[in-house]
Amino acid sequence: MKLYPNLILEALSKVRYPGTGKNIVEMNMIEDDMRIDGNKVTFSIVFDKPNDPFVKSIIKASETAILTYVSNDVDIKGNITAKAKQILRSEPEKLLSNVKNIVAVSSGKGGVGKSTVAANLAVALARLGYKVGLLDADIYGPSMPKMFNEEEARPYMEEIDGRELIMPVEKYGVKLLSIGFFVDKENALVWRGTMASNALKQLIADAYWGDLDYFFLDLPPGTSDIHLTLVQTLAVTGVIVVTTPQEVALADARKGINMFTGEKINVPVLGLVENMAYFTPAELPENKYYIFGKDGGKKLAEELNVPLLGQIPIVQSICEAGDSGKPVALNESSLTGLAFKNLAHNVVNQIDLRNKTMAPTQRVEIKKNKNG
């Protein structure tokens, strides 16, 4: 049979929300994100609170209503997402109102060290005395739990001003949340775009970030729904793009920068970080070997007229520190610690300059379609 949204909504109108005498359709609980693909139906149900006691039973009842009143061939089990209403439905301007600067860390390609740079930059700034938050929004490959040696962390909820909020983990002076704290990697990998976007919104809106000077978001590589969700959710102060000096990485970094500066998104680029800029053996710290080519990132920064914020060497200890959960930025006297400290200073200066010379970023408005 051919499925269409009204058929599904009619079935859902048989599901009442306990204690109200009303059904979930008239209560406007069905989000307008319904997708129908053959006999597969996906959509979200919006609840007032993330811990609504009826989430499970309403989802179950909705599945049953669709299978009963539409057809038992409908592929619906597990396809309904629960969303909390307070996610940005109310006054998005107030979101993160005590956060001074929201900085996205992005890369054109995976594996260039974006997460390593984000983690070390956050730690370096915390050590300089700033209040720093870090959200691992690399929803398909969260690596922060490992880099911060917090793989077992399970953040708890606390009631603040009448709202149940997720408390970030505090480590090395950084407030940290990662989707990796809530789902295992395999599960996150199969998430559809909307689920990943909702998870991101929840980690932004339903967490207690408090006062922060810098709030970093480690984005997935490339361009994705997550990027769009982010710029629609928050007024991003600026983006830092991480690249390696290789040609392929530079080409992708160029695309990434163009996406951010394009008319649709229009987020200022704070600058470029050239990671793995040269190889330095630990025993000969003065020697530099440009194994991926010299100054690729620097040249790209010049070409695109964006600042080069730092050149980070490729050093075994950076990789080992990432694996052992102790970022090298914790040790400021090391060559690598120093590189990240310099980067942190440049980022502070660049953000100051940006704030003095440019108007605050506007959130990207979600354009409703004709039916929306």
* Residues at the interface with ligand ADP (CB under 6 A): 107, 110-116, 143, 275-276, 312, 314-315, 318-319, 322
- Please enumerate in sequence order all residues whose Cβ is within 8 A of that of 235, keeping only pairs 6 or more positions apart, or say none: 102, 360, 361, 362, 363
b/e for 269-299, b at 16 or more Cβ within 10 A? bbbbbbbbbbebeeeeeeeeeeebeebbbee
Residues 6+ apart with CB under 8 A from 294: 245, 278
> Do 198 and 174 touch, CB atoms closer than 8 A?
no
Question: Considering beta carbons, is residue 102 or 117 the nearer one to ligand ADP?
Answer: 117
Between CA 360 and CA 238 the distance in angstroms is 10
How far is the C-alpha of 24 from the C-alpha of 6, rounded, in Å? 14
CA distance 319 to 120: 12
Nearest approach in angstroms of CB 107 to ligand ADP is 5
Minimum distance from CB of 128 to ligand ADP (Å)?
Answer: 20
**Shorter beta-carbon distance to ligand ADP: residue 62 or 107:** 107
Tokens 């690596």 appear where? 143
Please give the structure tokens belonging to residue 120.
């070390």
Smallest separation (angstroms) from ligand ADP to the CB of 112: 4
* DSSP class per residue in 171-207: ETTEEEEEGGGTS-HHHHHT--HHHHHHHHHHHHHTB
CB nearer ligand ADP, residue 38 or residue 111: 111
CB of 340 to ligand ADP, least distance (A): 10
Question: Nearest approach, Cβ of 14 to ligand ADP (angstroms)?
Answer: 47
CA distance 184 to 4: 34
Q: Which is nearer to ligand ADP, 41 or 276 (CB)?
A: 276
Beta carbon nearer to ligand ADP, 43 or 340: 340
Q: Is 189 exposed, middle or buried (0-12, 13-18, 19+ CB in 10 A)?
A: exposed
Q: Which is nearer to ligand ADP, 109 or 175 (CB)?
A: 109
Closest approach of ligand ADP to the CB of residue 231, in Å: 20
**Rounded distance, CA 219 to CA 209, Å?**
18
Q: Which is nearer to ligand ADP, 182 or 279 (CB)?
A: 279
Residue nearest to ligand ADP (CB): 113
Closest distance to ligand ADP from the beta carbon of 111 (Å): 5
Instruction: Report in angstroms how near the CB of residue 45 gets to ligand ADP at its nearest.
Output: 34
Comparison of 282 and 319: residue with beta carbon closer to ligand ADP = 319
